[in-house]
Amino acid sequence: MQSKRALQWLATSKASLRLQENGWNSVAASSLIDAPLISLEPHERGQPIPLITCTLQLNGRFYKPDPRSAQCRRSGQRSTDSKGCEMTATVALFLATVLFWGSGAIVTSLQASASAPELSVAIRMFLVGLSMLGFSIATGKPITIARSDRLWVMMQGILFFGLAFIAFYKATKGIPSGIAALVLSSSSLFAAIASRLLLNLRISHRATIGIVCGLLGLGIVAAPQIFALRLNPQTVTGFIWAGVAAMATGAGTAIAARNQRRGLPIPVLMGWGALCGCGFGVAWAMVVGTSLTIPVTVGYLAQLAYLAIVASCVTFLMYFTLIEKVGPARAAYALTVVPIVAITISIIFEGLHIDTRLAFGGATILLGNILVLNA
User: Structure pTM?
Assistant: 0.73
- Residue 55's beta-bridge partner residues? 37
Burial class of 52 by CB neighbour count within 10 A (0 to 12, 13 to 18, 19+): middle
Q: What is the DSSP string of 219-258?
A: HHHHHHHHHTTTT-HHHHHHHHHHHHHHHHHHHHHHHHHH
Q: Is the pLDDT of residue 156 over 80?
A: yes
Q: Is the pLDDT of residue 40 over 50?
A: no
Residues 160 and 43: their CA atoms lie apart, in Å, by: 60
Q: Is the pLDDT of residue 173 over 50?
A: yes
Question: E-assigned strands of the chain?
Answer: 6-7, 24-27, 37-40, 49-50, 55-58, 61-65
- Position 202 scores a pLDDT of 82
Residues 205 and 371: their CA atoms lie apart, in Å, by: 10
Q: What is the mean pLDDT of residues 78-95?
A: 73
Q: Is the pLDDT of residue 268 over 80?
A: yes
Q: What is the mean pLDDT of residues 35-56?
A: 43
pLDDT confidence of 8, banded at 50, 70, 90?
A: very low
Residues 172 and 263: their CA atoms lie apart, in Å, by: 35
Which uninterrupted H or E stretch holds 218? helix 205-227
Helix, strand or coil for residue 173?
coil
- Residue 65's beta-bridge partner residues? 24
- Position 164 scores a pLDDT of 95
Burial class of 48 by CB neighbour count within 10 A (0 to 12, 13 to 18, 19+): exposed
191-203 pLDDT tens trace: 888 888 887 778 8
Instruction: Note the Cα 61 to chain centre separation in Å.
Output: 52
Q: Is the pLDDT of residue 7 over 50?
A: no
- Position 372 scores a pLDDT of 79
CA nearest 220: which of 255, 186, 170?
186
Apex 352 CA angle, 346 and 356, nearest 5: 120
Report in angstroms the alpha-carbon separations of 193 from 175, 217, 320, 363, 372.
26, 17, 23, 21, 11
Report in angstroms the alpha-carbon separations of 137 from 266, 268, 296.
13, 9, 31
- Position 325 scores a pLDDT of 77
pLDDT confidence of 294, banded at 50, 70, 90?
A: confident
